[in-house]
């Protein structure tokens, strides 16, 4: 599944609202597909998502901290 990422420059509430809509759409699609899997695979996949997201956030936070120096 390949998706192009469309980036629009918005500020404040408009930007936050658009990101939230994208986030909810993404998780709705992922959730539908995940729920079709057996329970064990769902648990594994959710743990993988959690680990991947935390790792990516950590990297971005470190980059942000470095750029502030």
Give pLDDT tens digits for 23-58. 999 999 999 999 999 999 999 999 999 999 999 999
Residue 38 belongs to domain spanning:
12-68
Give residue 9's pLDDT: 59
Give residue 8's pLDDT: 59
pLDDT at 1 over 60: no
Query: Is the pTM for the entire model greater than 0.85?
Result: no
Give residue 46's pLDDT: 94
Is position 2 within any domain? Answer: no
What is the rounded CA–CA span in Å between residue 3 and residue 16? 21
Write out the DSSP string of the chain: ---PPP-----HHHHHHHHHHHHHHHHHHHHHHHHTS-HHHHHHHHHHHHHHHHHHHHHHHHHHHHHH-
Q: How many domains does the chain have?
A: 1
Is position 21 within any domain? Answer: yes
């Amino acid at each position: 599944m390949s998706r192009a990422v469309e980036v629009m420059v918005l500020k404040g509430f408009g930007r936050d609202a658009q990101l939230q809509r994208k986030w909810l759409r993404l998780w709705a699609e992922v959730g539908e597909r995940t729920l079709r899997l057996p329970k064990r695979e769902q648990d594994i996949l959710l743990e993988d998502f959690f680990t991947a997201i935390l790792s990516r956030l950590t990297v971005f936070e470190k980059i942000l901290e470095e750029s502030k120096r």
